[in-house]
Structures are given as structure tokens and as C-alpha cells.
Amino acid sequence: MILVLLGPPGAGKGTQGERLAERLGIPKIATGDVLRAAVRDRTPLGLEAKAAMDRGDLVPDDVILGIMKDALGSPEAARGAILDGVVRTVPQAEGLDRALAELGRSLDGVLLFDVPDEELVRRLSGRTVCESCQTPYTGREPGTRCDKCGGVLVRRKDDEPEAVRNRLRNYHVQTAPVIEWYRSNGARLSTIDAVGTLDEVLDRVQKSLE
């Protein structure tokens, strides 16, 4: 099963993507996580992406298409994958279609996480993430430890107010057209009300997949 998770920053794509991946027994592929690991390890990819990410801008499509192809072609993704934030522009949606066709596979569904902007700002202003495994937390101080892996919790640079405003602007301008693209290309697109407890949202996701 190949699923695309779409939605604005802070909508819960990472949180629910992880839980869904566990339930379905397939990996979650998140371009944001891949890029942050590259920045942390100071690889050429990380050096190229860092400035754009810190500002809350998108990194270039060709960089994302390279990550996407590598990840989809890996043995871990042979049974399927949850694609978290992997598609944010129309050229990326087209590139994913081409990459899947080359692998003899196709997209099973697109889940659009819907959350009002004021709730997104509230979530991101209180978020810390584990530096090692990227698990997000709400209401936990930087410097405390991750429950999952013991890593240190940090604030993301792009969760500063100016970068959050920029990410939301970019979402509405660059990513929102992807929704229409999927609709007009016959994808199975479900809009998930992503306000509620984590279990309520996951239940809605599961119902939409039945």
C-alpha cells in the first residue's frame, strides 16, 4: 500500500504517519526527517537544504525527487510506504506518479489532514522534537529526553514564529494546488478532520481507508 499524507505544517502528518505505519506494518518515509538528518550530518544534501529549511521555504523539486526515488526503490518499501510530506508541489506529484510507474506500482490513496491555521500555530509554538528519532512532543521542554529512544528534545529552527508564518504561506501557495491535481487525476483523496485526540484522528484515518 502506498499512501500520500498531505497537510499543512503541524497538521499531525508525522504523528499519525508513524502510528499508521506501525498498524499497517510498512515504513513511513518523511522527506523532512531525511533532510534534517542530512543537515545534522553535514552531508552535501544537508548543506544544500539547510538555509531553505531554516527559513521555512521548500527545497528544490529535483532534490526531493531524488530522495523519493531512492526511498521507494529500497527493500524496506517493497510492501508499501506512508509518504509523509513527500509531495508538496505539482511537479513532485507528477514525479511520484512517474517513479511509481517505473517500479510497476501505483498510489492507493491520498490523506489530506485538515486543521485550522490558528490550531497549527498553537501546536507548533509548543512543539519539541527528538534530535535522534524525530518524535514530536507537545508541552515538553528542550533538553529533556525522548520517551522512545532517550535522545535530547530540541526546538526546530523552523518552528520560530517567522518561519511558521512562511511555511503556512508556502503551503497555501505551493502545496494547496496539489490537492486539486490529485482530484483531477482520479486519486482516491480523503479529507481527515485532524482536530481531536490522537486516537480519534487515527480512527478517522482508518475508516477512510476501509
Backbone angles phi, psi at 27, to 5 degrees: -75, 155
Would residue 36 show up in a list of annotated catalytic residues for this protein? no
Residue 148 is a catalytic residue: no
Bridge partner residues of 83 (DSSP): 4, 29
Collapsing DSSP to helix, strand or coil, 28 comes out as strand
Q: Which of 165, 130, 176 is nearest to 149 (CA)?
A: 130
Given the complex with ligand AP5, which of 72 and 85 has the nearer CB atom?
85
Identify the residue among 74, 106, 138, 144 touching ligand AP5 (CB under 6 A). Answer: 138
Place of cell 527493500: 75
Smallest distance, Å, CB 81 to ligand AP5? 14
Figure out which of the listed residues 3, 6, 32, 202 binds ligand AP5, where binding follows CB under 6 A.
Answer: 32
Which 70-129 residues touch ligand AP5, going by CB under 6 A?
Answer: 85-86, 88, 92, 123, 127
Kindly provide the b/e burial profile for residues 145-166, where b requires at least 16 CB atoms within 10 angstroms of the residue's own CB: ebeeeeeebebbebbeeebbeb
| Structural contact between residues 141 and 180, judged by C-beta atoms closer than 8 angstroms | no
Instruction: Pick one of 2, 14, 71, 77: the residue that binds ligand AP5 (CB under 6 A).
Output: 14
Residues lying near ligand AP5 in the complex (CB under 6 A) are found at 7, 9-15, 30-32, 35, 52-53, 56-59, 64, 85-86, 88, 92, 123, 127, 136-138, 158, 167, 196, 198, 201
Catalytic positions, written as ranges: 13, 88, 127, 156, 167
